[in-house]
Amino acid sequence: MSTPYYIRSSRLNTRFNSVVGWLARHGVSLAGTAEMSVRGRKSGRMQRIPVNPHTYEGARYLVSARGHSQWVRNMRAAGGGELRVGRKVHTFSAVELPDEEKLPVLRTYLEKWGWEVNQYFDGVTAKSTDAEITAAAGDHPVFRITVDDRP
C-alpha cells in the first residue's frame, strides 16, 4: 500500500502558520484566512490550524493543499469543527468530496490561493488542464462545510 500524499511543514512555515493563527484568533484575517479547530481523533483535544476557507457557487470548502495531513484525518473522524476570526466562532459540519467532484473547487481555489499553495500541487495550477487537476485531486482532500450560524 502506498503512503498518502503529504508535504510536511518546514520550520519556517510552521512559525508562519503560528503567526497567522494568532492573528486570526485576535481578529485579523489575512486575505480571508481563519483559524480552524478540530477535535483530535486520538487525543480528544482541539487542534488548531490556520486555513483558507474557499467559497464556490455559494458553498464553502476547506482544501488541504499539503495533502492527507493530521487535520484531514481528524476532520474525517470528527465530521466538523470550528472556524474562528477574533471573537466570531462558527461551528461547522464537514463532508469530504469524492475526487470526481473536486475539479471546479480545486481550480477556483488555485485561482484565489495559488500564490500561496502552488508549491504543494506538484506543477498543477489554475491554468492546468481539467485532466491535470483531476489527476491531482486524490492528493488534496476537499471538504464541503456547512456553518451552523444559529445563536
Residue of higher predicted confidence among 128 and 151: 128
Q: Which of 1-15, 23-37, 47-61, 106-120 is least confident?
A: 1-15
Q: What residue ranges do the domains of the chain occupy?
A: 11-148
Q: Cell 455559494 identifies what position? A: 58
Give the pLDDT score at 16.
Answer: 86
Q: Read off the pLDDT of each residue in 101-106 and give the average, rounded to a whole number.
A: 98
- Confidence (pLDDT) at 17: 86
Question: Environment class of residue 79 by beta-carbon count within 10 Å: exposed (0-12), middle (13-18) or buried (19+)?
Answer: middle
Q: Are 38 and 74 in contact (CB under 8 A)?
A: yes
Cα-based distances in Å from 55 to 17, 20, 76, 112:
21, 20, 20, 10
pLDDT value at residue 129: 98
Instruction: Looking at the structure, give the CATH architecture of the domain made up of residues 11-148.
Output: Roll (2.30)
